[in-house]
Amino acid sequence: MFGLAHDDWVPACLAPAVRSGIYTYHGRTGLAVNGVPRCPKTQLLEHLAFVDPGPALTKKGKPRVRQPPRPQDQSVEFYRAQMVHYGLASQNATREAAKVALGATKLAVPNALLEIEAKLKKLYDAENDKMRRAAIDKQRAEEAAEDARRKKRDRDEEDLIKNVLGDQPPGKRAKAGKPKASNRPINLDTVSGVYTLVAPKVASNWETPYDGIIFKLALSPKRSHIWGSFDFGPFEGTLRSTSSLTAPDGTIRFHWRGRDTGSGESTYGPDNVGSIQFLPGGKIKGELVWDCCSGAIAFAGVRNSEKTLNTEDEDDVRGWKDEYWRLNEENYEHESRARWPGGRSYSPSGSREPNSDTEEENSDNQSADGYEDCGF
């Protein structure tokens, strides 16, 4: 076998068994006769000495109704194969006849059989080496391709950060909810879509989705709110705008509710805030606050022209709304109790805000949580 010191991940035996008549050879089992490997002499002697213990008996000497697992002797095929391995005739020998014949010999493997084994081993090793080389080459090619994709993704992220966030270090960027003005109001007709984001702070501390952070935004049917859905990797959620959509700097503030993807625990509190600034060319930048991360998480992204949202029947927005309102203190308590042994199942209840674009507008600015739409 060739040296593969740094490729220990490759299985030692990849090739299937090679065959010659009743003989087969595989790297893990060695020579086999009709599929039965040679049994080592010491172990074979133990099999030959096997005596059926009979059924377990009660104190009165009667067979028990419930029998424990009972030792079993090897099959007749096993003993016939061992006769061939040790140079004895085996055609139609019964199990007892085979055991008697094996017990009467010194259990030495004949030279003719060793030669057959050596020839089959040589064939097997050649095929196995070939398959292992192919497996290694394939894995190395996949790793190289993955490395190239990762480097391209890193370059794309760097370019996006430079083009959207600029060269400012994270600490110098605007705080969440206070982005720099661009004097460009939001074009509401271009808001809805699928955005691909980069968030350096998240990427450097957690594993993010391979295809990038996906950020979906949609204007509500009555054009009063922007709703969104996102997956940053370590956490995911839905967002609802909480400020005017006509700000001259193209910025909205939002509140979000979601879950830690590791623990599944929900997060919904008033500190889950953020902002998005809409820039020319389908670009966005912003920040959001997550209690598991120190400081606001800055992100930048661009709308993906190849991915669109179908909101004609309001399904996307309605689903995000339902998820948003479902994550509240009452359901959090239900979930917490359900995590403990003996916890009861529950039906999530939603705490919906009246002016939600799906119900009658009984209130213009007040939400079910008591926060006004101008911000928390």
Distances in whole angstroms, Cα of residue 196 to Cα of each of 31, 215, 233, 300: 57, 6, 13, 8
Domains and CATH numbers, the chain: 168-339 (2.40.128)
Q: Which amino acid is at 155?
A: R
pTM beyond cutoff 0.75: no
Rounded CA separation 324/228 (Å): 10
Q: According to the model, what pLDDT value does residue 53 have? A: 85
Lowest mean pLDDT across 5-14, 44-53, 120-129, 231-240: 5-14
User: Nearest to residue 350, comparing CAs of 339, 341, 358, 342?
Assistant: 358
Give the residues across from 285 on adjacent strands.
277, 300
Geometric angle at alpha carbon 13, from 8 and 14, rounded to 5°: 100
Are 238 and 226 in contact by the 8 Å Cβ rule? The answer is no
Share of the chain above pLDDT 90, in %: 40
3-class SS of residue 138:
helix
Rounded CA separation 341/320 (Å): 31
3-class SS of residue 83:
helix
- Arithmetic mean of pLDDT, 138-142: 92
> What rounded mean pLDDT belongs to the chain?
80
Distances in whole angstroms, Cα of residue 268 to Cα of each of 233, 255, 292: 17, 9, 13
Is 142's pLDDT higher than 60? Answer: yes
248 Ramachandran zone, left/alpha/beta (phi>0; psi -120 to 50):
alpha
Length of the chain: 376
Give me the sheet containing 30-33, strands edge to edge.
18-20, 23-26, 30-33, 36-37
pLDDT digits (tens, 9 = 90+) for 268-282: 889 999 999 999 888
- Arithmetic mean of pLDDT, 346-363: 47
Rounded CA separation 51/43 (Å): 15
- Arithmetic mean of pLDDT, 47-72: 89
Tokens of 224: 């009063």
User: Nearest to residue 282, comparing CAs of 194, 152, 373?
Assistant: 194
Q: Which amino acid is at 200?
A: P
Is 105's pLDDT higher than 50? Answer: yes
